[in-house]
Structure 1
Amino acid sequence: MTSPAPIIADPVSPVVPLDLASWTGWLQEQVDPLWRPGEWAQGAWFFDGDLDRPRTRVDSPGSGKSSRPGPRPSA
């Protein structure tokens, strides 16, 4: 049995360094600060989906299933 020959390819295009300030500015312009009130914290760039809202969907990784969960249990 023989080993397959390695495939060596040249990059399609050169790698462009990330300009973090430009990227952050562009992203801030694209995201509506009022998107999903109570779930999206614009100042922290944090999204915490509320499972009680009908627009929220939960995916179970690897299961191939998506579902809308029932109400959260009371604490």
Structure 2
Amino acid sequence: MPNVPAERRRVTLQRPGPLLVEGPVEVTLEDGTTVSSDRFCVALCTCRRSGIYPWCDTSHRRRAGADAARRTQPPPT
């Protein structure tokens, strides 16, 4: 895909959560490897907790739930 003019893609930011990108997409990782998906919309992990990184597997939900529970509990006595 590099150096090839492409039509505009829609990208949706969610906080907390993944980056939603209209597909198909090709993602270049930090180590230079490339992964691709032909799906009409993909969720890219932004928290790096995903077991299938760079794709989101909703691992961020478990952490967000744990953080919220910790904030609502009274402090230890």
TM-score, normalised to structure 1, is 0.24
When normalised by structure 2's length, the TM-score is 0.24
Asked which structure has the greater RCO (Cα within 8 Å, sep 6+), the reply is 2
Higher normalized strand content (fraction of residues): 2
Query: Which of these two proteins has the greater Rg computed from alpha carbons?
Result: 1
